[in-house]
A and B are shown apart, each in its own frame.
Chain A
Amino acid sequence: MVTSFDLPVAVLLPFVGALLAASFSALHRVAAAWVAGLVTLGSLLMLMPALQSVFAGETVVQSWAWMPSIGLDFAFRLDGLGALFALMIIVIGLLVILYARYYLSAKDSMGRFFAYMLTFMGSMLGVVLSENLLQLMVFWELTSLSSFMLISYWQHRKDARQGARMALAITGGGGLALLAGILLLGQMVGSYNLSDVLLAGEEIRAHALYLPTLVLIAIGVFTKSAQFPFHFWLPNAMSAPTPVSAYLHSATMVKAGIFLLARFFPVLAGTPEWSWLIGTVGMLTLLVGAFVALFQHDLKGLLAYSTISHLGLITLLFGLGTELAAVAALFHIINHATFKASLFMVAGIIDHETGTRDMRRINGLLKYMPHTAVLAMIAAAAMAGVPLLNGFLSKEMFFDQAVVASGESLWGQAIPVMATLAGVFSVAYSLRFIHDVFFNGEPINLPKMPHEPPPFMRIPVDVLVVLCIAVGMLPMFTVAPLLAVAVQGTLQAAPPEYSLAIWHGFNEPLLMSFLALTGGAAVYAVRKPLFAWYESHVKGQQLRHWYDWKIDKLLQVARVVTRGFDRGALQDNLFWVLGFTLLMGLAGFLSSTAPLLGGRALLPLDAVSLVVGATLILASLLSVVLHRERLIALVVLGAVGLVVSLAFVKFSAPDLALTQLSVEIVTIVLLMLALYFLPQYTPRTSAVWRKWRDGILAGLLGLGSAVLALAVMTRETATLADYFVMQSVPGGGGKNVVNVILVDFRGFDTMGEIAVLALAGLGIFALLKQIKLYAPATDSSGRMWVLEANPFILQTFSRVLFPLMLMVAVFVFLRGHNLPGGGFIAGLIAALAIVLQNLANGIGWTAQRIRSDMHSWLAAGLLVATGTGLVAMALGYPFLTSAYTHVHWPVVGDFELASAMFFDTGVFLVVVGATVMILVELGKLNRLDAPAPVRQGEV
């Protein structure tokens, strides 16, 4: 076990590289390609030491606890299977980067391309190197997102956007299923770490939740790996730039699903359910893909369906469930990646050099690009399974396993037959790729005169084709060690006996290969009538149309529903929201069987309370009845607020009473200032039915809240109160428990709240900045405003009161930790003192004397509050931990100095800043209009 961190670095390096590529491309066009290449090489170098241990037979796990409570670790793992995939991702990635550098035209942004590409590469590495399944899931989703960006790289093209959206919808939907499957798996095993999961195979297969888990994980695999019936996103993703197709659809994206099949092979495989589900889907995909591929006229379309077919083959092999079938599957993964990447690159070269991908027009390219033609022919032959090439070896192994699996049933007998049939079509479409493009007469009406591509664009293809031949001829000296560790990593056991020899004698697989080759040639020979038949009978029956239709329907329904509820009228929207709230509350009441009222001893009702309560109720009702007379209604509203603060006094909440009282005054002043700009009377616009409807809804909601409140208040309670009361003095150093909770126990909440208040203040400031409002010249009855704005008595008294009010604020602030008071209340009192000066003496007068910008008060308050928390952190305690000490002040006496006091200072500053800012900004509108009561323009 290596305790270094090279695996996470290798995975995260491409993400860093993505940022670098995006920023360097501004300096030079090609810089992004260099960054991408170097970063990829860097990842490879980081993996080297771990790879050596893997080839020596070890499994490397590097793990850090992240969120242990939910089983999430930051954990990476490299074993044989991970090594195989990581090498494919990196090696083919390097070739694709080289290829893409020459493929992209001057109009395409290299920085964006390589940034997406590296993000995708990092995500793929994360998938194959994750030890923790939850972390794997994160990377899995990242591959869906980054492939969306890659497929839609040419954003101006509609087909690219549609293809990308379809890929995202389908793979993303599958990702949800996979997440559910993985959560079930983790529940069964009790751990999300692969090391534990891989050892729990028997337990999982015997578990009652095995089948749902299998189905959910399989849906994730099938969507990602384009298995029938989810395969149709892959051909539509061909609108991506060809390097993307070469990368995503040969070695990476679609292989991620296959990777999971291999990963969970020792855990989930070996049951009839597994064979039926995975095997059947694989077989169907193999056949459908091979069949449809023959009829594609688009070069990349042919390759896309061929990819689907080969993925089906690999899935089928895993579905067979035997160890040897898994060996064949892994071998075919390697071979498919090499020949399919090279074929996609050839398709890109042809597209690049001729301007089209339509095989009905591209003919006879052999004489224009002989080198590329030879490469393409070898790769296509490998795809067809021609002897001496790598595709032949794995296909023989596949045929062999098909024969082995045929022994059991009638369905089993069909396996070799269908395998051969798929082979026939595979040969036929490979033949078409060779014959149609490079022979078959002269090119027809090409946009460009074809010629060989730039050499560096061809080199990646050279490399891959050489690999095809080398593996095909000398498997023991090339691929054998890699395959061996991959098999070991997949099975998590010693590999079975298998042979990579080219010649196994005359046997059934050889016969099947022979049948496939001759049959394929025969099918290709009669292609013309076949094409005609396909055009007239099959072409319309595509799943894509069904998908589009479904999506259209879904959007239609969404539109109808949205229009039904949202007609652009706030009143209707609110009615729905409130009505639904009522229904939910009603459902709660009706579903409860407990008695409505509890048995708590109730407080006796006294006469004073009755009068006060009746005042509150009457005042509330009056504010509604009179609501069209706005000024009067506002005065009545103020009375309601005052009664509420009396209620707080009565029920042992002095802090609340003080807060409510000061807020009440501020609110009423604010609303009065605002009312100046609004009509003084509300017109009667509501229809009678609407009034009744709203009234009934309001009444029911009121009734519901009253009953709910009563039901709670009559029940006994078990609260946290005791803890806070007990801990207040020893833990927070204050006797006023409410204040200690605010500034100490729940200081973080308070911090959020003052931030909200500061934001509200700033938001109002911004809203009022450019407001186009005009103060009316007269009141609603046509009387001019009184211009002598500042009554003399109020002026005089306010100036005397100012220092006294500030004194009270300081007093309330200082006692707040032990007696009712604190930063909130002191802030409100101080704000009131300032607002009173503005009201009595005018804003101009006050601004000359209190020269302070409320923005800096807000900023200072937030800084002080945050700073208090940070000091605690710097001293090694959690954020906002408080400390206190006793100080003896002369005259005042023994005095507690708590660090929470500094926090409370922050609260104080923010409250003053926000309150004064809101009121004074609103008041300024009046002031600017006040000198001349005529309609002024913009202020």
Chain B
Amino acid sequence: MEGLVALSIGVLVACGVYLVLRASTFPVVMGLTLLSYATNLFLFAMGRLAIGVPAIVRPDAAGYADPLPQALVLTAIVIAFGMTAFAIVLALKARGETGSDHVDGRTPHPNPSPSRGEGLRGSLAPPRPLRERGLGGEGESP
């Protein structure tokens, strides 16, 4: 059983790392989510695995799982949600400011090879904000 859990942790880490290293924001956030699963499982496993012995005090309990990593992981899950949310909103903000989905806010190649979605996305490129256009118009004809 321990081997299976270790293998799962390893696969989660590998998938998370690979996604985090991608160039677009959305896969990076997905990678962060996978990494947080892996981290939480890893931390949890530090208390060793135990079946059928929750850390709830009972007179007839056969034993207890280690409650300390559980408490740590519980808050870690919630914090990880906060972090994922922050990261994805940051990605949205960057998209709004730069018009790009690339993690660096700019696409390194001006004309990437067209693929599915790319051509359509080109037509959906966000227009310039009204405010900027408005200011430009004023500048031309005061």
How many angstroms between the C-alpha atoms of A647 and B54 in the bound complex? 13
The proximity string for B residues 66-92 relative to A, scoring 1 for CB distances below 8 Å and 0 otherwise, is: 111011011101111111111011111
- Chain A residues with Cβ below 8 Å from B46 are 712
- Chain B residues with Cβ below 8 Å from A725 are 55, 57, 64, 67
Q: Is A935 an interface residue (CB 8 A)?
A: yes
- Chain A residues with Cβ below 8 Å from B12 are 616, 620, 640, 702
- Chain A residues with Cβ below 8 Å from B81 are 663, 666-667, 915
B129/A938 in contact, CB under 8 A: yes
The proximity string for A residues 404-419 relative to B, scoring 1 for CB distances below 8 Å and 0 otherwise, is: 0000000000000000
B56/A651 in contact, CB under 8 A: no
Tell which of B15, B54, B91 touches A623, judged by Cβ atoms closer than 8 Å. Answer: B15
The proximity string for B residues 46-67 relative to A, scoring 1 for CB distances below 8 Å and 0 otherwise, is: 1111111111111000001111
Tell which of A616, A738, A768, A922 touches B74, judged by Cβ atoms closer than 8 Å. Answer: A738
Q: Is A367 an interface residue (CB 8 A)?
A: no
Closest B residue, CB atoms, query A622: B15
A717/B48 in contact, CB under 8 A: yes
The proximity string for B residues 84-104 relative to A, scoring 1 for CB distances below 8 Å and 0 otherwise, is: 111011111101110001011
Q: Is A749 an interface residue (CB 8 A)?
A: yes
A682/B48 in contact, CB under 8 A: no
Q: A647-B41, A679-B121, A767-B93 are in contact. Are A603 and B2 (CB under 8 A)?
A: yes
Question: Of residues 674 to 732 in A, which have CB atoms within 8 Å of B's CB atoms?
Answer: 674-675, 677-686, 694-695, 697-699, 701-703, 705-710, 712-714, 717, 719-721, 724-725, 728-729
Closest B residue, CB atoms, query A570: B103
Closest A residue, CB atoms, query B14: A702
B134 to chain A, nearest CB (A): 9
A824/B66 in contact, CB under 8 A: no
Q: Looking at B46, B71, B95, B116, which has the most chain A CB atoms within 10 Å of its CB?
A: B71
How many angstroms between the C-alpha atoms of A623 and B45 in the bound complex? 24
- Chain B residues with Cβ below 8 Å from A753 are 75, 78-79
- Chain B residues with Cβ below 8 Å from A720 are 68
How many angstroms between the C-alpha atoms of A78 and B93 in the bound complex? 61
The proximity string for A residues 620-653 relative to B, scoring 1 for CB distances below 8 Å and 0 otherwise, is: 1101100110100110010011001001101111
Q: A697-B17, A697-B21, A937-B130 are in contact. Are A674 and B92 (CB under 8 A)?
A: yes
Q: Is A129 an interface residue (CB 8 A)?
A: no
Q: Is A671 an interface residue (CB 8 A)?
A: yes
A705/B3 in contact, CB under 8 A: no
How many angstroms between the C-alpha atoms of A610 and B37 in the bound complex? 19
How many angstroms between the C-alpha atoms of A694 and B113 in the bound complex? 21
- Chain B residues with Cβ below 8 Å from A655 are 70, 74
A624/B126 in contact, CB under 8 A: no
Q: How many B residues touch the partner, as a band? A: 35 or more
B34/A623 in contact, CB under 8 A: yes
A726 to chain B, nearest CB (A): 9
- Chain B residues with Cβ below 8 Å from A773 are 92, 95-96, 126
A698/B91 in contact, CB under 8 A: no
B21/A717 in contact, CB under 8 A: no
How many angstroms between the C-alpha atoms of A768 and B92 in the bound complex? 9
The proximity string for A residues 902-939 relative to B, scoring 1 for CB distances below 8 Å and 0 otherwise, is: 00000000010011001000100000000000010110
- Chain A residues with Cβ below 8 Å from B108 are 569, 685
B67/A741 in contact, CB under 8 A: yes
- Chain B residues with Cβ below 8 Å from A922 are 89, 92
Closest A residue, CB atoms, query B106: A568
How many angstroms between the C-alpha atoms of A918 and B13 in the bound complex? 27
How many angstroms between the C-alpha atoms of A648 and B54 in the bound complex? 10
A776 to chain B, nearest CB (A): 5
B28 to chain A, nearest CB (A): 8
A713/B5 in contact, CB under 8 A: yes
A571/B7 in contact, CB under 8 A: no
Q: Looking at A617, A683, A767, A824, which has the most chain B CB atoms within 10 Å of its CB?
A: A683
How many angstroms between the C-alpha atoms of A678 and B6 in the bound complex? 34
Closest B residue, CB atoms, query A757: B82
A678/B57 in contact, CB under 8 A: no
Closest B residue, CB atoms, query A781: B120
Q: Looking at B29, B46, B82, B97, which has the most chain A CB atoms within 10 Å of its CB?
A: B82
B40 to chain A, nearest CB (A): 7
- Chain A residues with Cβ below 8 Å from B78 are 659, 663, 753, 757, 824, 828, 911
How many angstroms between the C-alpha atoms of A623 and B33 in the bound complex? 11
Tell which of A609, A698, A719, A764 touches B89, judged by Cβ atoms closer than 8 Å. Answer: A764
B132 to chain A, nearest CB (A): 9
Tell which of B22, B30, B66, B107 touches A686, judged by Cβ atoms closer than 8 Å. Answer: B22
A656/B77 in contact, CB under 8 A: yes
B56/A820 in contact, CB under 8 A: yes
How many angstroms between the C-alpha atoms of A663 and B90 in the bound complex? 20
B48/A600 in contact, CB under 8 A: yes
Tell which of B53, B90, B101 touches A652, judged by Cβ atoms closer than 8 Å. Answer: B53
How many angstroms between the C-alpha atoms of A568 and B53 in the bound complex? 50
A701/B70 in contact, CB under 8 A: no
B89/A679 in contact, CB under 8 A: no
B14 to chain A, nearest CB (A): 3
The proximity string for A residues 732-758 relative to B, scoring 1 for CB distances below 8 Å and 0 otherwise, is: 000111100110001001100100110
Tell which of A717, A777, A938 touches B130, judged by Cβ atoms closer than 8 Å. Answer: A938
The proximity string for B residues 4-35 relative to A, scoring 1 for CB distances below 8 Å and 0 otherwise, is: 11111111111111111111111101100110
How many angstroms between the C-alpha atoms of A674 and B86 in the bound complex? 11
Q: Is A463 an interface residue (CB 8 A)?
A: no
How many angstroms between the C-alpha atoms of A771 and B16 in the bound complex? 28
Q: Is A2 an interface residue (CB 8 A)?
A: no
How many angstroms between the C-alpha atoms of A701 and B39 in the bound complex? 13
- Chain B residues with Cβ below 8 Å from A776 are 124
B86/A763 in contact, CB under 8 A: yes
Closest A residue, CB atoms, query B18: A698
A780/B129 in contact, CB under 8 A: no
- Chain A residues with Cβ below 8 Å from B101 are 678-679, 682
- Chain B residues with Cβ below 8 Å from A702 are 10-15, 17
Q: Is A604 an interface residue (CB 8 A)?
A: yes
A721/B64 in contact, CB under 8 A: yes
B67/A737 in contact, CB under 8 A: yes
How many angstroms between the C-alpha atoms of A679 and B126 in the bound complex? 11
- Chain B residues with Cβ below 8 Å from A699 are 14
Closest A residue, CB atoms, query B49: A651
- Chain A residues with Cβ below 8 Å from B14 are 698-699, 701-703
How many angstroms between the C-alpha atoms of A715 and B68 in the bound complex? 18
A800 to chain B, nearest CB (A): 27
A695/B75 in contact, CB under 8 A: no
The proximity string for A residues 488-522 relative to B, scoring 1 for CB distances below 8 Å and 0 otherwise, is: 00000000000000000000000000000000000
B97/A609 in contact, CB under 8 A: no
Q: Is B127 an interface residue (CB 8 A)?
A: yes
How many angstroms between the C-alpha atoms of A928 and B37 in the bound complex? 34
Q: A603-B51, A683-B115, A719-B68 are in contact. Are A648 and B44 (CB under 8 A)?
A: yes
A-B contact list, 17 entries, CB within 8 Å: A616-B11, A617-B11, A640-B37, A652-B50, A656-B73, A656-B77, A667-B81, A667-B85, A674-B89, A675-B26, A684-B112, A702-B11, A705-B38, A741-B68, A760-B85, A768-B93, A771-B96
B residues near A, CB below 8 A? 1-27, 29-30, 33-34, 37-38, 40-42, 44-58, 64-68, 70-71, 73-75, 77-86, 88-93, 95-97, 101, 103-104, 107-109, 112-113, 115-118, 120-121, 124, 126-127, 129-131
Among all A-B residue pairs, the 9 with the closest Cβ atoms: A706-B10, A702-B14, A937-B130, A681-B117, A760-B82, A603-B1, A710-B6, A737-B67, A698-B18
A residues near B, CB below 8 A? 568-571, 574-575, 578, 600, 602-606, 609-610, 613, 616-617, 620-621, 623-624, 627-628, 630, 633-634, 637, 640-641, 644, 647-648, 650-656, 659-660, 663, 666-667, 670-671, 674-675, 677-686, 694-695, 697-699, 701-703, 705-710, 712-714, 717, 719-721, 724-725, 728-729, 735-738, 741-742, 746, 749-750, 753, 756-757, 760-761, 763-764, 767-768, 771-774, 776-778, 780-782, 818-820, 824, 828, 911, 914-915, 918, 922, 935, 937-938
- 4 further A-B pairs in the complex, CB-CB below 8 A; given A686-B22, A767-B92: A569-B108, A620-B15, A742-B71, A937-B129
